[in-house]
Amino acid sequence: MVKTDEVLKRLDGFTIEIPSWGFADTGTRFGKFFQDAAAATIDEKFADAGHVHALTGCCPTVAVHGLWDFKKDQSPREVAALARRHGVRVGSINPNVFQDQQYKWGSIANRSAEIRKMAADHIIESVRIGQAVGSNVLSIWLGDGLNYPGQGDIIARKRWVAQALKAVHATMPAKMTMLLEYKPFEPAFYATDIADWGMALLLCKAAGKQARVLVDTGHHYPSVNIEQIVAWLLDEGMLGGFHFNDRKYADDDLTMGSIDPYQTFRIFHEIENHRFRTGKDPALAYMVDQSHNLKPKIEAMLQTVDMAQQLYAKACLVDRKELALAQGREDLVASESIVRDAFLTDVRPLLAQWRKAHKLPIDTMAAHRESRYEARAAAERRACHGPKAGGGYA
């Protein structure tokens, strides 16, 4: 039986990075529904993230976007100072080579050497921003791909991507990690250039020794066994971290654990298996990547962080010695029950104990609602930015 104290100690070391874009107005390609309290500037995003961290105690870093969060009139150091002012730090730097017009036919997989260089330069600029703000994580996702058979040369594109990532990797300081994210489809709908974990793994190996695979839980077809991929990447020492979210159908970016909490629990279970097997804590970047199109942004983030802590604590509860013995005697029902019972354990009392010990509110949602933070932010932001227009097809 795993002792409560052991799990409380593990929670002390558990942090999860929250994304700046999770606090901003977002939508689908069919349109955006604006929220008065949504953050419009990096200062407002850090303020919201700081509020979440103050309530939860486990979100010290904020993932930022190379284009959306770093404007020409603000130096990276000023952005880092803004974060500190709100009690958080800049976390992973996410280059953006997927939305500008010049990337219509791809970024580092573009047939044009000039566009490929432009994209690689932007990613290298993100490395510089990381150095300037003290971030050691470069988190790369490409929207590159093809929409039709015959549109492009799959292998030429593979080589261009590998070449660019190697060039970017060569500019990184020794302590920086390149996280390379894969995604089976969207925005490309026939062949995405980094479509699965195998392609990402091969590209990481080619890029250099500081490259690791980033697993976005929404980036798999519904039947894929994600925890098996996680176990393999961990065993190969090639897992860099996660973008957590949940989904019913595709990359829906829904609240973590809202559709299938057992799936995310099993991911944490495989990480704990790896820790039990090796005696080492894998250095993984736990990060949220969600778009809160309908829920109030901060409430969705509080739900996410609470769920992350719960599922992590549940995975820590699995008695791996007992599990190994049950597996050894092929006692299928016992082995399954040891894992499943940990998942079914209500860890909210344990989380309450942890929060109390850290002088944090036991019910973070109630504390947030009592603070009236959202109403104040809405009033201030309405006054500052004025009414929001549009919202139709994004």
User: Cβ 84 to ligand AFD, closest distance in Å?
Assistant: 23
Site string for ligand AFD, 63-102 (x = CB under 6 A): -------------------------------x--------
394/35 Cα distance (integer angstroms): 15
Site string for Mn ion, 266-295 (x = CB under 5 A): -----------------------x------
Report if residue 306 touches ligand AFD, rule: CB under 6 A: no
The option from Mn ion, ligand AFD, none interacting with 343 (CB < 5 to 8 A, set by class) reads: none
83/63 Cα distance (integer angstroms): 11
Say if residues 221 and 184 touch (Cβ distance below 8 Å): yes
- Closest CB to ligand AFD among 243 and 297? 243
Q: Where are the alpha helices (DSSP H) in 113-244?
A: 113-133, 154-171, 197-207, 226-235
Report if residue 183 touches ligand AFD, rule: CB under 6 A: yes
Spell out a b/e string for 231-264, using b for 16 or more CB atoms within 10 Å of the CB, else e: bbbbeeebbbbbbbbbbeeebbbbbbbbeebebb
User: Cβ 389 to Mn ion, closest distance in Å?
Assistant: 27
Report if residue 242 touches ligand AFD, rule: CB under 6 A: no
3-state secondary structure (DSSP) of residue 289:
coil
User: Cβ 99 to Mn ion, closest distance in Å?
Assistant: 14
User: Cβ 206 to ligand AFD, closest distance in Å?
Assistant: 21
Report if residue 25 touches ligand AFD, rule: CB under 6 A: no
Q: Which of 69, 246, 289, 374 binds ligand AFD (CB under 6 A)?
A: 289
User: Cβ 15 to ligand AFD, closest distance in Å?
Assistant: 19
Q: How many residues bind Mn ion, per CB under 5 A?
A: 4
Q: Which residue, chain included where needed, has tokens 């990096």?
A: 42
Q: Tell me the pairing of strands 239-244 and 177-181.
A: unpaired
Q: Which of 220, 243, 247, 355 binds ligand AFD (CB under 6 A)?
A: 243
Of 292, 286, 289, 308, residue with least CA distance to 364: 308
Site for ligand AFD in 209-238 (CB under 6 A): 216
Tally of CB atoms within 10 A around 359: 7
Residue closest to Mn ion (Cβ): 243
- Closest CB to Mn ion among 57 and 240? 240
Tally of CB atoms within 10 A around 10: 19
- Closest CB to ligand AFD among 63 and 338? 63
Residue closest to ligand AFD (Cβ): 141
Distances, alpha carbon 295 to alpha carbons 23, 87, 115, 214, 300, in Å: 11, 24, 38, 26, 6
- Closest CB to ligand AFD among 255 and 364? 255
What does 199-234 look like in DSSP terms, one character per residue? Answer: HHHHHHHHH-TTEEEEEETTSS-TT--HHHHHHHHH
- Closest CB to ligand AFD among 144 and 181? 181
To which H or E segment does residue 180 belong?
strand 177-181
Report if residue 141 touches ligand AFD, rule: CB under 6 A: yes
User: Cβ 326 to Mn ion, closest distance in Å?
Assistant: 36
The option from ligand AFD, Mn ion, none interacting with 94 (CB < 5 to 8 A, set by class) reads: ligand AFD
User: Cβ 182 to ligand AFD, closest distance in Å?
Assistant: 10
φ, ψ of residue 242 to 5 degrees: the values are: -135, 150
Site for Mn ion in 202-261 (CB under 5 A): 216, 243, 251
- Closest CB to ligand AFD among 216 and 306? 216
Report if residue 181 touches ligand AFD, rule: CB under 6 A: yes
Tally of CB atoms within 10 A around 74: 15
245/226 Cα distance (integer angstroms): 13
Query: What are the tokens at 306?
Result: 């609470």
Measure CA 175 to chain center: 20
The binding site for Mn ion (CB under 5 A) comprises: 216, 243, 251, 289
The binding site for ligand AFD (CB under 6 A) comprises: 94, 141, 181, 183, 216, 243, 251, 253, 289
